[in-house]
Amino acid sequence: DTEVTQTPKHLVMGMTNKKSLKCEQHMGHRAMYWYKQKAKKPPELMFVYSYEKLSINESVPSRFSPECPNSSLLNLHLHALQPEDSALYLCASSQVFSRKGSSEAFFGQGTRLTVV
């Protein structure tokens, strides 16, 4: 099973709202990621968790707050977003170590976020 499940699939929120995106995987992966993808652009890395600890933050604004409660779950808490934050938010997971190098990441179907 190479499934990463994201909820909700669609989300519309106002600029004063607080919401959370959720991601779950049961592949035993110990690295989990949040990516942001705008229309007709490639995914851009936001955060990386390795063994439930934040290892990479790509200078993301503090209105995005990640959380990794356990090895299977990843959340992205949203607060005071701007309309330009509207995008497809993708969660991914991978093995941490590979004897050859980086391991392939498996992506969820994404949450389509619209900020109004």
Partner 1 sequence: EDQVTQSPEALRLQEGESSSLNCSYTVSGLRGLFWYRQDPGKGPEFLFTLYSAGEEKEKERLKATLTKKESFLHITAPKPEDSATYLCAVGWGSSNTGKLIFGQGTTLQVKP
User: Contact, 57 vs 45, CB < 8 A?
Assistant: no
Pick the binder of partner 1 from 46, 48, 76, 87 (CB under 8 A): 48
Quote the distance between the C-alpha of residue 62 and its chain's center.
15
Q: Say if residue 61 is preceded by a cis peptide, omega within 30 of 0.
A: no
SS3 for 30-48 is CEEEEEEECCCCCCEEEEE
Nearer to partner 1, 13 or 45 (CB): 45
Work out how close the CB of 101 gets to partner 1 at its nearest, in angstroms, rounded to a whole number.
4
Pick the binder of partner 1 from 101, 113, 114, 116 (CB under 8 A): 101
Nearer to partner 1, 72 or 109 (CB): 109
Asked if residue 112 binds partner 1 (CB under 8 A), the reply is: yes
User: Contact, 88 vs 111, CB < 8 A?
Assistant: yes
String of contacts with partner 1 for each residue 55-94, x by CB under 8 A:
xx-------------------------------x-x-x-x
